[in-house]
Amino acid sequence: MAETPYDTDNIFAKILRGEIPSHRVYEDEAVVAFMDVMPQGPGHTLVVPKAPSRNLLDADPSTFGPLFTVVQKVARAVKRGFGADGVTVMQFNEPASGQTVYHLHVHVIPRFDGIPLKPHTGGMEKPEVLAQNAEKIRAALRS
């Protein structure tokens, strides 16, 4: 069966183009990181390469070095910024896996001993809470 092509109008492509808002915490020439609007825990951040691909399966391998360099930076920053005990890093490919937005991205979620994750794509967080959490991560990235 033919692979599904990349859709240039997916929501992360629109965020990357600045057509819809996001709480950005990091940007370089290849990668952007912003807050997940339906966080599975406080500080849930998405790390997104600028290069278009639907997910890991069709991505050019040159995407992964810059992408995972930022995943590590953000993972360290959320751990420090939220005083977390650990960090979950997740990535989904195609609907059967739970993928809902079809531009490659990596979830980075601070974790606390004994506290489970909220459901994937559960409730929307208040913009002011996302803004406060984004500022904590920016501060941790600066320090």
Binding site for ligand AMP (CB under 6 A): 11, 22, 36-38, 46, 92, 98-101, 121
Write out the DSSP string of 82-129: TT-SEEEEE---SGGGT--S-S--EEEEEE-TT-PPPPTT-SPPPHHH
Cβ proximity of 35 and 133 under 8 Å: yes
Listed residue (111, 95, 89, 86) closest to 54, CA to CA: 95
**Least distance in Å: CB of 16 to ligand AMP?**
11
In degrees rounded to 5, what are phi and psi of residue 33? -130, 135
Residue 107 annotated to the active site: no
Return the residue nearest ligand AMP (CB atom). 38
Nearer to ligand AMP by Cβ, of 30 and 37: the residue is 37
Annotated catalytic residue, options 44, 105, 107, 120: 105
Q: Minimum Å distance from CB 71 to ligand AMP?
A: 14
Q: How far is the CB of 91 from ligand AMP (least distance, A)?
A: 7
- Catalytic positions, please? 105
